A and B are shown apart, each in its own frame.
Chain A
């Protein structure tokens, strides 16, 4: 576990919206299944006093913190209000903030993440599926049925592609320690480097899968920063330049951040790179043979 465990009390902002309500239900069910605390409070301004799946809703994060022991949160509020939600939580002292919301303007994310850093808290996302430590805690929207507890950490810039890879790992009998979706935006709180640092201190994690894509060079920076055995997969080999491939951050700009040069740099560092998702389990087995 790297960002939380069974004992982590989770708050959900945007608790009474369609998304928030639906996922409070799924997170609560997961907490019951693993015997964890899960979602202990929700926040929606003006909806204080309501309940969602038995979870009490408050008007502000501070009010919720007064009544409950909370160290993490998941944000489902719309893009225009999401940066404010991140700052409200950082100000109230929440340590880990998972921002699921997509389409937040980059300048809002930059400011909210800079503010959260000053308050000493970690932001995962935005535009991410959250994280899941099998058997411990689910903070976000990942489909829990695909996961198996084990020793491989997964860090990814995408959502469904992460589920695809987790599914491949689980089918191959390779369990996961924690799976973190860091988000598809150009500006995100926790990058590969930050999550890898946590995995290094986590005794459960023996190897890590990095799932990257076109845009930027955060994958290479991450791979360079760690001593953990890693396997990488980079999506977007066929992506044309200057086109946004669905994610705001998935764009080859000024001839930089294309998949082929990323893959070449990773290979130069000695990182095995899978050319398709179904090859990842075999690469992991190879790592375990060499390192463990």
Chain B
């Protein structure tokens, strides 16, 4: 889950990384309380859970004179469809140079990867494509609690050596907050010293509990409801509902829908060994999506009991057509139950998907 900017900055501040003076406000009028600390010129940044908010009009420059008016303007905007409920009002920095610093989980080495470049402020992917030589990389051992000085020297090069301790502090944040990404872009030098002008922290979804989060804000309402049932669920924009067991098989079912010219409405992985109630909940959840015209159920497995699956599909009793591919324990019983209720069953995933695409067309 991606933290909001003010949350990420609070985390950095606690870890000893300087951040600009900033205040979270929930109404334009609150701004007057902070004029003293913010100074003459400041920035207003919408705290919305979307990327690219700057380009979408979510960041505005302001001063003492027009601050309230500008804040009102920003509170009245929608940023990529999201209302602005919170604004981070932040001191404007006198920036001399912009650096980029990040720590991610590297899949190839299975270790933390630290990236540093003197050309900060821009998209790191752009730099990586145009000037890969400008990005310095170091892979750290996750069993180490500190980044050793030689690694810091390799990263920092001829840039100010005060950046070294910042890297170590960001590494502590990365480890302690179960981060998948800890990024400062830009890390800026000013006459007052170094500051993290912007920050991004993504916390591992599997560690949200121990990090003290009760809800995953990256999910939509329906995705969250699905999570309560223990399903992996992703909303898409087609008309064919999909229920599968196992992430790979379910993804493959979506791809097959595209292969045959259809569009999937969702991804739902019901998990292993699904019992009738789980299956019923899954079918009802997908059936409740207004755009869904037909549902493909593709379940394959050793542990999944087909009679339980059949019971669940029948109990869900939804108006849309449900087309089923079932293989596993008690297959014959499950098939007989569904046949008795006139459900359509086909033997392979190619066949069920083809049929569903025809029905949805």
Q: How far is the CA of A211 from the CA of B264 in the complex (A)?
A: 22
A276 x B178 contact (CB < 8 A): no
What residues on B are CB-neighbors of A211 within 8 Å?
A: 248
B110 x A188 contact (CB < 8 A): yes
A residues touching B (Cβ–Cβ < 8 Å)?
A: 22, 26, 79, 103-107, 109-111, 113-115, 141-145, 156-164, 167, 184, 186-189, 191, 211, 213-218, 221, 235-240, 242-250, 254-256, 259, 275-278
A114 x B142 contact (CB < 8 A): yes
B259 x A239 contact (CB < 8 A): no
A246 x B141 contact (CB < 8 A): no
What residues on B are CB-neighbors of A142 within 8 Å?
A: 302
For A106, the closest partner residue in chain B by CB is: B204
A184 x B107 contact (CB < 8 A): no
For the A-B complex with A141-B303, A160-B244, A213-B248 known, give 16 more contacts whose Cβ atoms are closer than 8 Å.
A26-B302, A105-B210, A107-B178, A107-B204, A111-B142, A113-B110, A114-B143, A167-B327, A187-B110, A189-B110, A238-B236, A244-B232, A248-B205, A254-B124, A256-B125, A276-B252
Q: How far is the CA of A158 from the CA of B253 in the complex (A)?
A: 14
What residues on A are CB-neighbors of B142 within 8 Å?
A: 107, 110-111, 114
Interface code B159-180, partner A: CB below 8 Å = 1, 0 otherwise?
0000000000000000100101
A276 x B348 contact (CB < 8 A): no
What residues on B are CB-neighbors of A162 within 8 Å?
A: 248
Q: How far is the CA of A113 from the CA of B251 in the complex (A)?
A: 28
A213 x B251 contact (CB < 8 A): yes
A277 x B349 contact (CB < 8 A): yes
For B141, the closest partner residue in chain A by CB is: A114
12 contacts between A and B (CB under 8 A): A106-B207, A107-B175, A114-B111, A114-B142, A161-B251, A186-B180, A213-B251, A239-B251, A240-B234, A245-B247, A248-B206, A276-B256
Q: How far is the CA of A219 from the CA of B258 in the complex (A)?
A: 22
Q: Which of B249-283 contact A (CB under 8 A)?
A: 249-252, 254-259, 264, 267, 269, 272
Contact of B302 among A105, A143, A240, A277 (CB under 8 A): A143
A246 x B232 contact (CB < 8 A): yes
B252 x A235 contact (CB < 8 A): yes
A218 x B107 contact (CB < 8 A): yes
A103 x B206 contact (CB < 8 A): yes
What residues on A are CB-neighbors of B245 within 8 Å?
A: 160
B300 x A163 contact (CB < 8 A): yes
Interface size on B, residues (CB 8 A): 51
Q: How far is the CA of A189 from the CA of B249 in the complex (A)?
A: 22
Q: Closest CB-CB distance, A134 to chain B, in whole Å?
A: 15
Q: Closest CB-CB distance, B304 to chain A, in whole Å?
A: 9
A-B contact count (CB 8 A): 167
Chain B CB within 10 Å, residue with most, of A105, A145, A189? A105
Q: Which of B301-349 contact A (CB under 8 A)?
A: 301-303, 327-328, 348-349
For B107, the closest partner residue in chain A by CB is: A216
A160 x B207 contact (CB < 8 A): no
For A26, the closest partner residue in chain B by CB is: B302
What residues on B are CB-neighbors of A105 within 8 Å?
A: 178, 204, 206-207, 210
B205 x A160 contact (CB < 8 A): no
Q: Closest CB-CB distance, B346 to chain A, in whole Å?
A: 13
A244 x B301 contact (CB < 8 A): no
Q: Closest CB-CB distance, B302 to chain A, in whole Å?
A: 3
Q: How far is the CA of A15 from the CA of B246 in the complex (A)?
A: 24
B248 x A278 contact (CB < 8 A): no
Q: How far is the CA of A288 from the CA of B170 in the complex (A)?
A: 52
Answer whether residue B350 sits at the interface, using C-beta atoms and an 8 A cutoff.
yes
Answer whether residue B96 sits at the interface, using C-beta atoms and an 8 A cutoff.
no
Q: Closest CB-CB distance, A26 to chain B, in whole Å?
A: 8
Q: Which of B199-243 contact A (CB under 8 A)?
A: 204-207, 210, 232, 234, 236
Decide: A246 near B250, CB < 8 A? Known: A187-B110, A236-B255, A276-B255: yes
Answer whether residue B186 sits at the interface, using C-beta atoms and an 8 A cutoff.
no
Answer whether residue B158 sits at the interface, using C-beta atoms and an 8 A cutoff.
no
Interface code B104-120, partner A: CB below 8 Å = 1, 0 otherwise?
01011011100000000
For A142, the closest partner residue in chain B by CB is: B302
Q: Closest CB-CB distance, B158 to chain A, in whole Å?
A: 28
Q: Closest CB-CB distance, A230 to chain B, in whole Å?
A: 18
A160 x B246 contact (CB < 8 A): yes
Q: Closest CB-CB distance, B50 to chain A, in whole Å?
A: 10
Q: How far is the CA of A235 from the CA of B254 in the complex (A)?
A: 9
A106 x B178 contact (CB < 8 A): yes
A161 x B207 contact (CB < 8 A): no
A110 x B252 contact (CB < 8 A): no
Q: Closest CB-CB distance, A88 to chain B, in whole Å?
A: 16
Decide: A141 near B256, CB < 8 A? Known: A160-B245, A164-B249: no
